Structure 1
């Protein structure tokens, strides 16, 4: 079933409830969704129903961890052997510097590491680190919804000429959970996710995110989770979907 078909089926079952448009992600009354799609979007295509691509952040964390291990190994080698090898020292410092730059750039939204997320009846799979890494959930048992944040320089210099950091909200996340395994999916424009669905748990604010999807793909993910029975539409006139 395509994303558009899922959205229309959801709208048909809940004509009085808000339904996210699968293209512009605006909240539309279920009874009006089909007319909205035809009038506003015409032949525009929806996001795929099960696979979505976006910049991921796991790869940059792996690279930074590798660089730290290499730098520590180089320092340990120099200390234990008593031999100073400039190639080893400079190489490890260079790798650490590149890793820190990449990690910071990814945190600011740079698309250095393309990732892919798949969610269907077989569970969820996040492919990261240029396809070398994979995180798999055999099922999606729980969904956590919360606000996504990033640290940004405040422009105010401290006593040591360094700049203080402030936390800035950068959208929302849906965290897919199976036991202790997690996949955290970020979107900068999450739309009406809170007022559309029930079944999710309220999460804390997070900076550690795994993959970023655009708004239409984020709606397609929500519809896929509804198809799996993890999320349920909010009844018209009801309260917030999360725990109070």
Structure 2
């Protein structure tokens, strides 16, 4: 089920209609779309969850929803507006990479919309220079499945390389100024997942993120890298389902 809201955001739906009940919202990383979350979305939906996967404004199929790249706070507010339009109720937010910064801002600014939070390879790490962050990204590329590369390249081109560069600068500013502060205002139970081969989100940073939120824990997936949700969707889904066990059905 694919649809576009009045806010101009394109999103994909899996599983039963949410109808205000428990649901999961999957938030992609910088310049990408929700397409690389589809394997995980299908596995979560197979267990009966309602799963929604939007393209954030200015990205991929939601490119026209923003005339210029939005900073992290504006992306979080746009996601909240989309969330309210769909009358979803409190959601389990699952994010990857810079999407974790958007999700942290979302949870800090709109806590009543978040039941739980799952951060997969949260980036960008504060106090790490932009060139070093970019080098970490390049080092991660050969560790990802070959099938991810054309998918990501197509999304980057659809979003636009200039927009991707502007979004990267905005994400670096957020990492330096707001990311950790937003994490301190997150009180929803939070699971921080890292692929064991992730060069972008070091293990020490993952532990720091889990300590910074109000109720955090960590997990590591062997054989996966930064996009663990794509390369190891079964293992990622199992961790999320174990984390959310006991939530109202």
Is TM (by shorter chain) over 0.5? Answer: no
TM-score (norm 1): 0.23
The structure with the largest strand share of the pair is 1
The structure with the largest helix share of the pair is 2
TM-score (norm 2): 0.22
* Structure number with larger C-alpha Rg: 1
